Structure 1
């Protein structure tokens, strides 16, 4: 790929989205404070909010808080809902018994276990979020039309070539190619296939680039300028940072979580359904390891509800600590410094014209 093509892609993406550099914050549910998103945006990248757990009023407040903090770019992310899960009281009782080894005994409400997706989406429309991103599936034609009517953009997270094709056909303005190295939840459209279809970024990025005409944003394993440069050479127009930002003071994550990332070997993370019922990559704590031979996790969001008391207890042995395979490269430095450092490293490797 000619260097001129690379820089054309990068500059076009940055110009379209009002960025000074082609780097986006990952929208991490529960770890997307305004302070972190604003720091990334002020450094010239795109801030983000993982809005999965937010009620409509919370979405409005976050967007207003960001705009009061920064005039930079940002996205807000929603999970496309899975079908209503089948409930199995006997299995849930067995899981509850297993989980008492790791925290308080859980009880699952018979009421709704997730936020109302349609109400969340309407809140994003009302907030005029510049970019709406999705994970776990695609928006409907009506939702895409609603975004376009307001000149809002849609980024669809994909984990396979087939998903990338489907996202482009559905009207996505860009696709986020999430490699299996990524921390947090896999964005797979089909929960049952998430682990079996775990494709690494080096294979996924160029494969997606070859089948779509929209920009590709590389996610997963972007821990330093070497990885960023590689992703851009492979055809990405921008990259996304998640785990690399978690040790920054603006992230505000639990100290035990931030400390666990220091020196963490790639093999000391696991793809696991043990926390939410959906596959995600986390630090291989004693709980995560024990869950591999324990009762099979319940489907999302039942498993998430079952593990809520354990997660709230905050014990290091069972804490939910999402982490990508490049976690060891995360540094305890301000988020803006991380963004500019990684971009500077990438430019030095790629040569001039950046």
Structure 2
């Protein structure tokens, strides 16, 4: 057991990655925490009120520590009318196929981060993690005053050093094999997870959490052997009974083979790894994040209702084909054999 495990009271050196947009549920977070790991709520797309309710739901199921994750907002991108029209034109035939009206880009494209952060503070999770940027000294100080650990996300050594200089308590280093959105904000090295872990451990003086392609106990042991204090696993929990992963999403994961993932901006405008499908193959001019994410929201919701995996954002890491079904506790046991 290392210092970070002791500080969080963990029995298993595994964090369930905060998978925003559906898979991350209070039931999943609570089940992982109850089984000895650290469950997480991916709250980036939740309102402040929803964050409070989700935190209460976790606490109703477990007294164990858990985490909340948010995305650091950047300036809203400026786009031309022609760029918006081109993005809409690409998606319009897909909407027609699903019986939807043409896509539109509303004025509200993301949640109020200040309100989200205040809600997270009020919940008082053991860990507040963040991606897509730097949190800032004032917010890190607020977390520390509330007894909450601040955990940033880096995709390379430069970002890891910047986060350490900011005073975070730990750093998630996201290797290139990781599923979902790339969590950095400068140069994404897309490195092998173990190599990136070793680089970060050498470069910073705070605990490092390895993420990306870690699907079984051997992977977790390798990450700890590279110097990580904990392993963060997301794809390994996508097919957990308690996850909010939709039926078509689960079906696509169950039939995934090696090499079936791709890096794409098609769904959100930000680079992310998921299973390839018609949208990843066909969208060529997405708007930047978060505009494209807002523009495709109705399409994704309809695809989930209609069982159309070919229109879903099927976020998954390179190890998706090694995933299993089961309860969160069973999947966690497969990630750590003690």
Note the residue ranges of structure 1 that are not aligned, 5 or more in a row.
1-9, 348-354
In 1: Cα distance, 2:195 partner to 2:286 partner: 29
1:11 corresponds in structure 2 to 2
Q: What are the superposed Cα offsets for residues 106-136 of structure 1, whole Å, 9 maximum, x if unpaired?
A: 1011x23111111111111112122100000
Q: 1:238 and 2:227 equivalent?
A: no
- Provide TM-score, normalisation by structure 2: 0.94
Per-residue deviation, 1:32: 1.2
1:147 corresponds in structure 2 to 143
In 2: Cα distance, 1:56 partner to 1:263 partner: 36
Per-residue deviation, 1:23: 0.6
- Provide TM-score, normalisation by structure 1: 0.90
1:122 corresponds in structure 2 to 118
* Kept after mapping to 1: 8 A contact 2:194/2:210: no
2:190 corresponds in structure 1 to 198
Q: What are the superposed Cα offsets for residues 48-104 of structure 1, whole Å, 9 maximum, x if unpaired?
A: 001111111111111111111001110100111011210221111111111122223
Per-residue deviation, 1:263: 4.7
* Kept after mapping to 1: 8 A contact 2:267/2:279: no
2:212 corresponds in structure 1 to 220
Note the residue ranges of structure 2 that are not aligned, 5 or more in a row.
none
For the residue of structure 2 that corresponds to 1:102, the secondary structure is helix
In 2: Cα distance, 1:126 partner to 1:250 partner: 25
In 1: Cα distance, 2:28 partner to 2:19 partner: 11
- Which of residues 329, 339, 343 is equivalent to 2:322? 329
* Kept after mapping to 2: 8 A contact 1:265/1:325: no
* Kept after mapping to 1: 8 A contact 2:65/2:125: no
2:336 corresponds in structure 1 to 343
In 2: Cα distance, 1:14 partner to 1:88 partner: 49
* Kept after mapping to 2: 8 A contact 1:248/1:335: yes
Q: Runs in 1 of length 4+ with deviation above 4 angstroms?
A: none
In 1: Cα distance, 2:12 partner to 2:52 partner: 27
* RMSD between aligned residues: 1.2
Per-residue deviation, 1:156: 0.5
2:162 corresponds in structure 1 to 166
